[in-house]
Amino acid sequence: MSRTGTLARAVAGAATLCLAVIALTGCTVTPSSPSEFELVQYPGAGFSGLYAQTAAAHKSIDMEMYELDDPREEQALIAAHQRGVAVRVLLDSAYQVRTANQPASSILAASGVPVRYAASSTIFHIKTTTFDGTTSDISTANLTPQYYARTRDAEIVDSYPVHVAAIESTFDRDWNGDNPATDETSAPGLVWSPDAEQAMINQIDSATASVRFTSEELSDPYISRALARDAERGITCEVVMMDDPEWSKAFGQVTSAGCHVHVLPDTPTGLYMHEKLVLVDAGTANASVMIGSQNASYSSLAFNRELSIILTRAQAPTILSQATRTFEGDYAAARPWPQ
């Protein structure tokens, strides 16, 4: 399915009804086909797909973004607003990121685009955009072009109506300043922060054959312990991250248990691992992958506004194969830790 295609499904009515009553009935709606999900892998894919989605929107665009500093996307959002699309942009305002987001905020606001800062009491590290209420991009990538050419990131283009409805519902509440700890709408497969630590642990613990892990950070001791536990029970455990002494303690813990850690040097031109991925049991019928904005840090999992998605082989076999190939290439290109 094209990233910019019409993605509504006949199941949408049933999905919306189920979302409204799920707390009472426990009903679930199975995605109608694996084609409701698409994987975009950066840097190879480039960001032309995002620009095309923005240009093709005809009803609404809701963007919830940690960092926005992409003049081309900003102008695309302005053009969408000017042709009558209901555009809303919610940006992080915690710490120095508010300063980084100020130019984009000013440009959008000057053109009449509704733009708000999220409450500074919570880091909005989420990177999610919904188009026309039918498609949500769940990404690990910030919209910062200076990093596009060399940063490993990933994005799931999700047109499963239950997911899109939950993401839109949560966006509305975030937009209105509700408490992120209580305002998210749950849906099977979506992992919201705050309070996502156990979900990432469960994803790691679900492995029966292998676990493959990437993250920009690895400071949450419970995540390190979950990886180590997998290795101790005979699970093949592979990690790809940047060669950063800040994670040496965690690397030592997981390698002592039997995990294989490979690292990339942080150079001005080399690949930078910014992706957040937990891939379990690749190549088997039980394979699943978790991709999204959550780093393996306690603050990201417990306190920030974040969003990831978990997909199974049954839902998205092509995505599982693509993610596996990319991980294997990165793992082969990196060097074992310690050298």
Q: What is the pLDDT of residues 132-161, one digit of tens each?
A: 999 999 999 999 999 999 999 999 999 999
DSSP 30-47: --S-GGGEEEEEETTT-S
Lowest-pLDDT range of 14-23, 230-239, 320-329: 14-23
Res 35: pLDDT: 76
Residues 215 and 302: their CA atoms lie apart, in Å, by 16
Residues 73 and 34: their CA atoms lie apart, in Å, by 29
% of the chain beyond a pLDDT of 90: 89
Res 33: pLDDT: 53
Residues 23 and 136: their CA atoms lie apart, in Å, by 23
Tell me whether residue 268 is in a domain: yes
| 106 pLDDT tier (thresholds 50, 70, 90) | very high
CATH at residue 77? 3.30.870.10
> What mean pLDDT is reported for the chain?
91
**Which residues, other chains included, contact 26 with Cβ-Cβ below 8 Å and sequence gap of 6+?**
none
Task: For residues 44 and 183, state if they share a domain.
Answer: yes
Q: How many domains does the chain have?
A: 2
- Domain closes at, from 167, 188, 209: 188
pLDDT at 281 over 80: yes
183-193: pLDDT as tens digits:
999 999 999 99
Task: For residues 230 and 177, state if they share a domain.
Answer: no
Res 18: pLDDT: 38
Res 339: pLDDT: 74
Tell me whether residue 2 is in a domain: no
Task: For residues 35 and 131, state if they share a domain.
Answer: yes
Task: For residues 145 and 23, state if they share a domain.
Answer: yes
Task: For residues 208 and 271, state if they share a domain.
Answer: yes
Average pLDDT over residues 10-25: 33
Res 51: pLDDT: 98
Task: For residues 146 and 55, state if they share a domain.
Answer: yes
Task: For residues 159 and 30, state if they share a domain.
Answer: yes
Q: Tell which residue, 170, 164, 153, 209, has the closest CA to residue 305.
A: 170
pTM of the model: 0.90
Tell me whether residue 228 is in a domain: yes
% of the chain beyond a pLDDT of 70: 90
Residues 131 and 49: their CA atoms lie apart, in Å, by 12
Task: For residues 172 and 306, state if they share a domain.
Answer: no
282-304: pLDDT as tens digits:
999 999 999 999 999 999 999 99
Res 34: pLDDT: 58
- Domain closes at, from 128, 154, 188: 188
Tell me whether residue 292 is in a domain: yes
Task: For residues 210 and 306, state if they share a domain.
Answer: yes
Residues 55 and 111: their CA atoms lie apart, in Å, by 17
State the residue range of the domain holding 27: 12-188
Q: Are 11 and 32 in contact (CB under 8 A)?
A: yes
50-94: pLDDT as tens digits:
999 999 999 999 999 999 999 999 999 999 999 999 999 999 999
Tell me whether residue 6 is in a domain: no
Q: Are 211 and 230 in contact (CB under 8 A)?
A: yes
Tell me whether residue 1 is in a domain: no
- Residue 59 sits at the vertex; the CA angle it makes with 53 and 64, to the nearest 5 degrees, is 60
Tell me whether residue 248 is in a domain: yes
Task: For residues 298 and 261, state if they share a domain.
Answer: yes
pLDDT at 24 over 70: no
What's the token pair of residue 250? 């965690």
Res 2: pLDDT: 46
- Domain closes at, from 188, 206, 222: 188
Lowest-pLDDT range of 25-29, 173-177, 224-228, 230-234: 25-29
214-239: pLDDT as tens digits:
999 999 999 999 999 999 999 999 99
| 311 pLDDT tier (thresholds 50, 70, 90) | very high
Task: For residues 311 and 330, state if they share a domain.
Answer: yes
Task: For residues 16 and 145, state if they share a domain.
Answer: yes
Tell me whether residue 4 is in a domain: no
